[in-house]
A and B are shown apart, each in its own frame.
Chain A
Amino acid sequence: QVQLQESGPGLVKPSETLSLTCTVSGGSISSYYWTWIRQPPGKGLEWIGNIHYSGPTNSIPSLKSRVTMSIDTSKNQFSLRLTSVTAADTAVYYCARGYRSSWYVWLDPWGQGTLVTVSS
């Protein structure tokens, strides 16, 4: 079955750029909305944004100016860049496969998550 795995630095300095990659195995990255979600320690889930396999992206308005997402279908990977990070960006970052049609939306499966701490 499809599995997702996040990778990237666990520690980022304030004002620098957070970069994460999600590798998709067991299935093709073609089709679906490849999604990033984060969860600050002890808090709830926040949808960051997604990238459709064909290229279009969408992100939460509060992060839009700092977020870039890309997809590499040849490597079955998609990536997140978040610029000018602060301590408020400290969170577990999850990648997930998103499905949207006229009938349903869902996020499944999810990666295991990776903790990114913003600190000097």
Chain B
Amino acid sequence: EIVLTQSPGTLSLSPGERATLSCRASQSVSINYLAWYQQKPGQAPRLLIYGTSNRATGIPDRFSGSESGTDFTLTISRLEPEDFAVYYCQQYGSSLWTFGQGTKVEMK
């Protein structure tokens, strides 16, 4: 089973700053099979990015995704107030879908 480890656990930033979130896989993950979700308090998660770097419908272009080997990154270029939330990476492999433990982006 592939384990996804997200870091940092919490990111304290101010609006307008750049956020860089990491998701490291315990073994190789296809770039096609890595997605990112945003979850705000009391809400269901929302799909942000699929296939490592493709933005879902309606997602602003300040959100971007990339990869380097088994490391995947979600970047928010300039934080807006509505971006403070928890972010999860998710992968598919060997018939299993797994999530990372999440990174909380909080307002400094």
Q: B98: CB under 8 A from chain A?
A: yes
- Min CB gap A120→B, angstroms: 27
Would B54 and A104 count as touching, CB distance under 8 A? yes
Instruction: Pick from B45, B50, B96: contact of A60, CB below 8 A.
Output: B96
Q: Which residue of A lies closest to B44 (CB)?
A: A110
| A113 contact set on B, CB distance < 8 A | 44
The CA of A91 and the CA of B102, in the complex, are separated in Å by 17
Distance in angstroms between the alpha carbons of A105 and B49 in the assembled complex: 10
Cα separation A50 to B90 with both chains bound (whole Å) = 15
Residue A111 is within 8 A (CB to CB) of chain B in the complex: yes
Name the residue of chain B whose CB is nearest to the CB of A106.
B50
Tell me whether A105 and B33 are in contact (CB under 8 A).
Answer: yes
In angstroms, Cα B33 to Cα A98, docked, is: 12
**Number of A-B residue pairs having CB atoms within 8 Å of each other in the complex:** 67
CB-based nearest B residue for A99: B50
Cα distance, A47 to B97, chains bound together (Å): 6
Residues of A within 8 A of B91 (CB): 105
Count of interface residues, chain A, beta-carbon cutoff 8 Å:
25
Is the beta-carbon distance between B92 and A105 smaller than 8 angstroms?
Answer: yes
Q: When the two chains form their complex, are residues A45 and B96 in contact, meaning their CB atoms are under 8 A apart? A: no
Q: Are A110 and B45 in contact (CB under 8 A)?
A: yes
Given contacts A45-B37, A106-B56, 14 further A-B contacts (CB under 8 A): A44-B100, A45-B39, A45-B102, A60-B96, A94-B44, A98-B97, A102-B32, A103-B32, A104-B54, A106-B50, A107-B35, A108-B46, A108-B56, A109-B47
A residues near B (Cβ < 8 Å) are 35, 37, 44-47, 50, 58, 60-61, 94, 98, 100, 102-113
Residues on B close to A: CB < 8 A? 1, 32-33, 35, 37, 39, 43-47, 50-51, 54, 56, 88, 90-92, 95-102
Give the 7 A-B residue pairs with the shortest CB-CB distance, closest first. Answer: A108-B47, A110-B44, A106-B50, A105-B92, A45-B99, A47-B97, A104-B51
